[in-house]
Amino acid sequence: MALEAETKRIVSLFELSDDWLNKAVREYHSQADEGLRSEGTSLSQIPTYVTALPNGKEKGVYLAVDLGGTNFRVCSVRLNGDSTFKLTYNKVAVPKELMTAEKAEHLFGFLAKQIEIFMHEHHKDEFESIRSQTNKDEEIFHLGFTFSYPVKQLAINKGTLIRWTKGFDIPDAIGKDVCVLLQTELDKLHLPVRVAALVNDTVGTLLARSYTAGEGGHTLLGAIFGTGTNGAYIEKLSNIKKPIEGEYDDSTGEMIINTEWGSFDNQLNILPSTTWDSEIDKETVNPGYHVFEKRVSGMFLGEIVRRAVLDMTKNDQLSLFKDANSSSNDWHSTTDIGPAVWSAEAVGPGQRRHELEGTLDIYSSSLEDAQAFKAIAGAVGRRAARLAAVPIAAIVLQSGRLSDANSSIIDIGVDGSLAEYYPSFREMIYEALAAVDGIGPEGAKRIRLGIAKDGSGVGAALIALVAARMEKNRSVANAAKRKLDQVPGGFLDSFTNPQQLALGVTVLGALTAVGLWWARRRNFV
């Protein structure tokens, strides 16, 4: 009985009321607005210089790599030009010691090595033929680099690391251009690969979802719920009040903003805090930062459950996990015990006890133990899903699309193992969205949270495509620029293929594209 009462008490610590949700949505709105006005706010709201979404007609083969928090994925993507794609990929866990390596080159050398292994495994023939070419520039593989850490983007293929998150800590890399770090290691291996573009995984997810949704898809937001959490959405340029340095194409009147919502409410104005949340925060590499992420994402949820349950086992009044064999119980902290916790939560009681033994080294758990465990894990997961609904609701409301008769469906691309595999994660988000004023059950039905499978790979390929085209057209664009004064309009129309420009994605660093920009305007207007 004592166990049941204590379990209830702990579960209640993780509950978030509908009133709280509404207050949090207002708070998000205000912090988001602040981030669009000035630098140095808790929500960074980073302009990405990507000002248009793909329409599904893009074509070509590109390499893409994705450094998440847990895995490194290397893939090649064939965009078929009809909203479909074929993706081949290898996935490896990032060795723990490299996450805190002394030198950046240790980590990036490992990444380059994985790219070499992938090329040998899946593209050996092209690889060899490129190596034997004399004009290497023509036949190089363009690579899109998905890098899901806060970066100050300076060009389509240039960005300096602001800070590490999700357990990485390599001070040597801070302030350095991560594309150069990767390119240097690729060059050491003599690989015919050029880092053509740098993209945040949320932006990649948004682009990938737009590509697969095709024309009329109008995806609003790309969201990640994996090791960490973050979102990128399309915002009106007129709402971005802080200065955006450099050149970009303003013809669409919109730009993708990388919110870095993992840092929402670092000041803890409204976020719930249990003692376990505070303990965990203190032990991370970035205490006081990314506090929203530490309540929502895969890297932290299992650890919250572990600590809550561990405290219960220390309470002599309770009988949790204290049967005959309890002395051999050793519920240790590893980097990420999430998957073990969630699989134990998702299955029936018999299987759950089996999971507790097999993956968490807890023996002789009783049925009551297993039920208490399920309740705590469920409460932590439910709180995460309701928290996850906060930025989604705020961004949907702010977009005005609910009152737009032309947007019957508000499309959102989501990626990350938590969103994909955690039982009912998306259902719990929908339930929370329905409780938000201004959305309600009818509005929630119009919001579609669609898994953007392999989103970051496809998104990175799309950005690499744009970068490669910009590079290819650079000399033509420069020629056009020189002749701009002398030649009448007809020339501009003929020097470039309008389809080449259909994607319309421009990024900082596209200074070279003045000529192109002219041509594009002429094609669009």
**Are 155 and 463 within 8 A, CB to CB?**
no
Q: Is 474 a catalytic residue?
A: no
What is the helix, strand, coil percentage profile of the chain, to 5?
50, 15, 35
Tokens (6 digits) for 301: 């949820």
First vs last C-alpha separation in the chain: 73
Which residue's CB is nearer to ligand ADP, number 305 or number 462? 305
Q: Judging by DSSP bridges, how do beta strands 141-147 and 254-258 pair with one another?
A: unpaired
Residues 62-101 that bind ligand ADP (CB under 6 A): 68-71
Which residue's CB is nearer to Mg ion, number 398 or number 417? 417
**Are 157 and 198 within 8 A, CB to CB?**
yes
Contact partner at residue 338 from Mg ion, ligand ADP, none, CB < 5 to 8 Å by partner kind: ligand ADP
Which residue's CB is nearer to ligand ADP, number 272 or number 339? 339
Q: Is 82 a catalytic residue?
A: no
Say whether residue 217 binds Mg ion (CB under 5 A): no
Which residue's CB is nearer to ligand ADP, number 294 or number 401? 294
- Which one is catalytic: 18, 26, 78, 163? 163
Pairwise CA distance, residues 51 & 257, whole Å? 9
Q: Which stretch binds ligand ADP (CB under 6 A): 55-63, 308-316, 332-340, 507-515?
A: 332-340
Which residue's CB is nearer to ligand ADP, number 183 or number 205? 205
Contact partner at residue 248 from Mg ion, ligand ADP, none, CB < 5 to 8 Å by partner kind: none
Say whether residue 414 binds ligand ADP (CB under 6 A): no
3-state secondary structure 369-433: HHHHHHHHHHHHHHHHHHHHHHHHHHHHHHHCHHHCCCCCCEEEEEECHHHHHCCCHHHHHHHHH
**Are 232 and 256 within 8 A, CB to CB?**
yes
Contact partner at residue 447 from Mg ion, ligand ADP, none, CB < 5 to 8 Å by partner kind: none
The only residue of 204, 222, 226, 231 in contact with Mg ion, by rule CB under 5 A: 226
Q: Is 343 a catalytic residue?
A: no
x/- map, 175-214, Mg ion, by CB under 5 A: --------------------------x-------------
Q: How far is CA 214 from the centre of its chain?
A: 21
- Which one is catalytic: 42, 44, 83, 148? 148
Q: Name the CA radius of gyration of the chain, rounded.
A: 24
Spell out the long-range contacts of 25-29 with Cβ–Cβ below 8 A and sequence spacing 24 or more. Answer: 25/390, 25/393, 25/394, 25/397, 25/436, 27/265, 27/269, 27/270, 28/261, 28/264, 28/265, 28/390, 28/391, 28/393, 28/394, 29/394, 29/397, 29/398
- Which one is catalytic: 201, 277, 336, 369? 201
Say whether residue 299 binds ligand ADP (CB under 6 A): yes
x/- map, 377-396, ligand ADP, by CB under 6 A: --------------------
Say whether residue 449 binds ligand ADP (CB under 6 A): no
Q: Which backbone phi and psi does 67 adopt, to 5 degrees?
A: -95, 100
Say whether residue 344 binds ligand ADP (CB under 6 A): no
Pairwise CA distance, residues 256 & 235, whole Å? 6
The only residue of 159, 192, 298, 413 in contact with ligand ADP, by rule CB under 6 A: 298
Question: Buried (b) or exposed (e) across 6-41, using 16+ Cβ within 10 A?
Answer: bbeebbebbebeeeebbebbebbbebbbbbbeeeeb
List CB contacts of 315: < 8 A, sequence separation 6 or more. Answer: 6
Contact partner at residue 71 from ligand ADP, Mg ion, none, CB < 5 to 8 Å by partner kind: ligand ADP
Contact partner at residue 477 from ligand ADP, Mg ion, none, CB < 5 to 8 Å by partner kind: none
x/- map, 215-254, ligand ADP, by CB under 6 A: -----------xx---------------------------
List CB contacts of 374: < 8 A, sequence separation 6 or more. Answer: 344, 345, 349, 352
Sheet holding 447-451, edge to edge: 46-47, 254-258, 229-236, 221-225, 410-415, 447-451
Q: How far is CA 382 from the centre of its chain?
A: 21
Say whether residue 145 binds ligand ADP (CB under 6 A): no
Pairwise CA distance, residues 388 & 226, whole Å? 12
Least Å distance between CB 510 and ligand ADP? 28
Say whether residue 342 binds ligand ADP (CB under 6 A): yes
Say whether residue 338 binds ligand ADP (CB under 6 A): yes
Q: Which stretch binds Mg ion (CB under 5 A): 79-87, 165-173, 224-232, 378-386?
A: 224-232
**Are 35 and 45 within 8 A, CB to CB?**
yes
What 3-state DSSP class applies to 252? coil
Least Å distance between CB 228 and Mg ion? 8
Q: Judging by DSSP bridges, how do beta strands 254-258 and 229-236 pair with one another?
A: antiparallel
Residue ranges with strand state E in 34-189: 46-47, 59-67, 71-80, 85-93, 141-147, 151-155, 158-161
Contact partner at residue 25 from ligand ADP, Mg ion, none, CB < 5 to 8 Å by partner kind: none
Say whether residue 192 binds ligand ADP (CB under 6 A): no
Say whether residue 204 binds ligand ADP (CB under 6 A): no
- Please tell me what DSSP assigns to residue 157: T
Q: Which stretch binds ligand ADP (CB under 6 A): 12-20, 152-160, 208-216, 336-344?
A: 336-344
Which residue's CB is nearer to Mg ion, number 35 or number 68? 68
User: In the bound complex, which residue of the shown chain has the CB atom lying closest to Mg ion?
Assistant: 68
Contact partner at residue 298 from ligand ADP, Mg ion, none, CB < 5 to 8 Å by partner kind: ligand ADP
Residues 34-73 that bind Mg ion (CB under 5 A): 68
Binding site for Mg ion (CB under 5 A): 68, 201, 226
Binding site for ligand ADP (CB under 6 A): 68-71, 226-227, 298-299, 336, 338-339, 342, 416-418, 421-422
Task: Give the catalytic positions in this structure.
Answer: 148, 163, 201
